[in-house]
Amino acid sequence: MVHDEATLQERAMQLGKLLESRGACMAVAESCTGGLLSKVLTDIPGASSWFERGLIVYSNAAKQQLLGVPEELLEDYGAVSQPVAEALAAGLLERAPVDYTVAITGVAGPSGGSMGKPVGTVWVARASAAGVMAQRLQLNGDRQAIRLGSAAAAIDALLSA
């Protein structure tokens, strides 16, 4: 698991090189990471050639208004769920002129968890013309460790695209 921003930055640089070699670009939708992934990606010189936008959709209202997540999904499954993560990634792909999107939604803690979704539960979804793929993570550690691990998983999802 990634425990520091320097290691995360190394992975981000790999992603940037990959996207640049493909002539591709990406966008991100972040909830529990609150912009961490966008920050790490845009710290890389030249990121503007492959990073198009990053949205922080922390509230359910933002998820609905900015990315078109149906209210029914949020009510039926909750914000931290596979259907919502997939809807975030797909909604961003529909709205941004990019090849790939990635979305992160989770419970970073230290509070906010439940029996079914304890602290550290995170969903990462990737979308492209090939479709949408989501992955559930159960991360350990404090709030920052969970956020770093979530951002790393999002980068890894794009590296494997």
Q: What is the pLDDT along the chain (161 residues), one digit of tens a residue?
A: 666 889 999 999 999 999 999 999 999 999 999 999 999 999 999 999 999 999 999 999 999 999 999 999 999 999 999 999 999 999 999 999 999 999 999 999 999 888 889 999 999 999 999 999 999 999 999 999 999 999 999 999 999 98
Calpha distance 157→66 (Å, rounded):
23
Helices (H) then strands (E): counts for the chain: 6, 5
Q: State the residue for tokens 């961003």.
A: 92
Whether residue 110 has a cis bond before it, omega within 30° of 0: yes
Domains belonging to the chain, first-starting first, are 5-159 (3.90.950.20)
